[in-house]
Amino acid sequence: MRKIVPIGALALALTAALSGPAGAGGPGQVTTPTLTGFASLPAATFVPGSEPSGSLVTGSTNGIPVPFADQPVQGFSGIADNGDGTYDVLSDNGYGNQANSADFLLRIHRLAPVFRTGKVDVLGGVNLTDPDGHVPWKLTRDDRVLTGADFDVESIVKDTFGGYWIGDEFGPYLLHFDRAGRLLSAPVPLDGVTAPETAVRTGATATLGSSKGFEGLAKSPSGRYLYALLEGSVTGDTPGDLRLNEFDTKTGKYTGKRYVYRLGAANLAIGDAIAIDDNRFLIIERDGGQGATAVIKRLYLADKRDRNRDGLLDKTLLVDLMNVANPRRIGGFGPTFTFQFQTIEDVVVLDEKTIAVLNDNNFPFSSGRTAGVADNNEWITIELPRSLQPDKRIFPAQGR
Ligand SMILES: [Ca+2]
Ligand SMILES: [Ca+2]
Ligand SMILES: [Ca+2]
Ligand SMILES: [Ca+2]
């Protein structure tokens, strides 16, 4: 859509002229969040010619035989727009914990949804590695290819050189990689916050629950600042309050500025966080249910200006992902589309009133779409009733 900005602007002007009173709807204008696209990557998709994986997987695998001959393309936990119809999507640590994921290679996949056919193309990707020895402790593999026993990567943004900043849960650390997936500097810890995995390695006291690290990572429109959002509360904080920490990519240090995002309830979690301007974020909030037990699957707009002075980001519900209008019955679903997955971990803004959202399928464990069947990686687009009025700099330049 960004390729046709002048025509789009004209269309918007025409729409505004035709649509009558605000909120009345009209041609090309929705009055409630509405499904506009659906594509799906089959659960059992693997990286061709890769390495075997899943030898330590136990428990119900929804009928999927383990181990796998190759690395699964799964667990999408963060997304970055390349601006050319392709997206870089981050797999997390594989099978959910350090003990069972040593044969899962950390990887960024380059994907492209094809909404016309409802399919997703896997164009390639890069494994994450540390060839220059920036990680000072012993890695799982002597070849320094990073695995799901080394880091649990859950959030991603691109830097201004085509590389990546990635948020981890085992530190929690910030990790900086180049465009080929090579680590560029030592993992950056967060003062006063230690995940259990690091506590075991260093002897420090854990101040965070397991898998409660940097689930969301946003970058300022200029690209200078990162905002790393923890998934869980730090020991001593009000349960359900999540720290959002500002990091300066220019100095390579946290600035000390910290904000608080309050979950709707202490047992909820965030799935992703992105910035739409210098102050506002889109944040996915979810419960642990799936399928029939999924209740809270929401996208909030959160503003760090804290206009009501309560010390918290100001939250507004943007989309209830359990109640998305689907008048065109896209994807073969009924008039109300539900994104009923346990983990929903990717959101990206496509244009000022369209977003894309993806689930993390936790392959082969999650079965939110059909009980007993391993979830696919679904990729939906949603049109919003109103413009997000995003800073235009959040959209990547074309043809980079
Ligand atoms: Ca994940
Ligand atoms: Ca995530
Ligand atoms: Ca995790
Ligand atoms: Ca507030």
Q: What percent of the chain has pLDDT over 70?
A: 92
Query: Does residue 138 belong to any structural domain of this protein?
Result: yes
Give 237 Cα–ligand 4 centroid separation in angstroms: 17
Give 172 Cα–ligand 2 centroid separation in angstroms: 13
Give 154 Cα–ligand 2 centroid separation in angstroms: 4
Give 305 Cα–ligand 3 centroid separation in angstroms: 29
Tokens of 350: 């496509």
Query: Does residue 333 belong to any structural domain of this protein?
Result: yes
pLDDT tens digit string along 353-388?
Answer: 999 999 999 999 999 999 999 999 999 999 999 999
CA–CA distance, 173 with 175 (Å, rounded to integer): 6
Query: Does residue 72 belong to any structural domain of this protein?
Result: yes
Query: Does residue 365 belong to any structural domain of this protein?
Result: yes
Query: Does residue 98 belong to any structural domain of this protein?
Result: yes
pLDDT tens digit string along 119-174?
Answer: 999 999 999 999 999 999 999 999 999 999 999 999 999 999 999 999 999 999 99
Residue 400 has pLDDT above 90, yes or no: no
Give 267 Cα–ligand 4 centroid separation in angstroms: 20
Give 356 Cα–ligand 2 centroid separation in angstroms: 14
Give 312 Cα–ligand 4 centroid separation in angstroms: 4
Q: Look up the CATH number of the domain holding residue 377.
A: 2.115.10
Of all ligands present, the nearest one to the C-alpha of 211 is 3
Contacts by 106-111 with C-beta closer than 8 Å and gap 24+?
A: 106/146, 106/147, 106/148, 106/150, 106/151, 106/153, 107/47, 107/71, 107/181, 108/156, 108/164, 108/181, 109/73, 109/76, 110/82, 110/86, 111/41, 111/86, 111/87
Residue 23 has pLDDT above 70, yes or no: no
Domains in the chain: how many in total?
A: 1
pLDDT at 29: 87
Query: Does residue 153 belong to any structural domain of this protein?
Result: yes
Residue 397 confidence class, pLDDT cut points 50, 70, 90: confident
- Domain holding 274, by residue range, is 32-394
Give 333 Cα–ligand 1 centroid separation in angstroms: 25
Query: Does residue 304 belong to any structural domain of this protein?
Result: yes
pLDDT tens digit string along 186-204?
Answer: 999 999 999 999 999 999 9
Give 272 Cα–ligand 1 centroid separation in angstroms: 9
Give 153 Cα–ligand 2 centroid separation in angstroms: 8
